[in-house]
Structure 1
Amino acid sequence: MSDFEIKILDANDAADFRSIRLSALAKAPAMFGSSYALEAAKPLSFFESCLANAKVFAAFQGQKIIGLAVFSQEQSTKLSHKAQLSSVFVEPEYQQQGVAGQLLQAVINYSKMHVEQILLTVAADNAPAVHLYKNFGFQLYGIEAKALKDTDRYIDEILMKLFLARI
């Protein structure tokens, strides 16, 4: 798939961000720490605030937002060499078409200018995501057992890290 564009969202894109975030929570609820019901009740200003506190990379096909990845750099002096990658999601009908890889590559390219390490967590049962991250050089450094609880089901999370050559 080559007819999509990756861009970093700003406050003017809060409605698009809200749309893809709620879609992610509705379509892949076990993969996220939040819930659709909780975030659907939030005002648009909540999503504007999220955009102000992180770099949100989004994939668009035309005017339609189809995927996202959130990059949050640590702020304290001793931790600012690290960032967290989270909320990676691609609409199901666009999966397996290279969208997630393009989002991830955009985050890595941006990160090389700002941090030395990217950390992430991924549900242990999300084999396609684990495979994607490994293909981009992320390494496993731990497992958090029972990291998420979905009603009466626990989900382990794999902790992964990518070391970057800082320019």
Structure 2
Amino acid sequence: MEIRILNSSDAEAYRKIRLHALQGNPEAFSSSYEEEVEYPLERTASRLDEGTSFTFGAFIDNTLVGVVSLVLETRHKIKHRATIFAMYVNPDHRKLGVGKQLMVAAIEEAQKLDEIEQIYLTVNASNEPAKRLYLSLGFKTYGVDKRALKIEDQYYDEELMVLVK
């Protein structure tokens, strides 16, 4: 398995896995498939080349099977923070350590940056495997956002988690 930071040349593969994630696990993301399927590929490419975020990809046999993004805050008062977004591993590659390796890469990248002191993430409160992974990496729950997402008539709570360096 290869873990590396994605760039605009990976836009097509990233868009494919991202849309698959949004369609297959809509309760895990605040974005929706219906919104993002309309985005042009150029938007995805430019997002991957932003200087304030890092999107990591896990490749097995040159196929992108998992992703996670680390986004740095840019406003002066919160530049000591970064946030993990868009964590996803294809169902066929779960329970193989892909998610853990992606998360470790993102955390290590944040630790290289002296100004980053805290890493935040949110996770669907009912996603026990993801919560176990995040807890095992040192994240702590500091709150619950009740009814954070609404998909049709169903509400989903999100746990708010932080890792302090």
**Band of TM-score, shorter chain:** over 0.9
Q: Take 1:31 and 1:10, find their aligned partners in 2: how far apart are those partners?
A: 24
Displacement of 1:89 in angstroms is 0.3
Query: Which range moved further: 47-56 or 139-148?
Result: 47-56
Offset from partner CA, 1:12-55 (integer Å, 9 cap, x none): 11111111111111111111111212211211011013213321
TM-score by length of 1: 0.93
Secondary structure at the counterpart of residue 31 of structure 2: coil
In the alignment, what sits opposite 1:154? 155
In the alignment, what sits opposite 1:78? 77
Q: Take 2:154 and 2:47, find their aligned partners in 1: how far apart are those partners?
A: 28
In the alignment, what sits opposite 1:35? 32
Is there any run of 5+ residues in structure 2 with no aligned partner, and where?
Answer: none
Displacement of 1:64 in angstroms is 0.5
Runs of 4+ with deviation above 2 angstroms: none
Is there any run of 5+ residues in structure 1 with no aligned partner, and where?
Answer: none
Offset from partner CA, 1:104-129 (integer Å, 9 cap, x none): 11111111012111000000010110
Instruction: Letter of the 1:110 partner, please give it.
Output: E
Q: Take 1:33 and 1:50, find their aligned partners in 2: how far apart are those partners?
A: 17
Instruction: Letter of the 1:61 partner, please give it.
Output: I
Q: Take 1:20 and 1:118, find their aligned partners in 2: how far apart are those partners?
A: 24
Q: Percent identity?
A: 40
Q: Take 1:96 and 1:135, find their aligned partners in 2: how far apart are those partners?
A: 14
Q: Take 2:112 and 2:78, find their aligned partners in 1: how far apart are those partners?
A: 16
Secondary structure at the counterpart of residue 130 of structure 1: helix
Instruction: Letter of the 2:21 partner, please give it.
Output: A
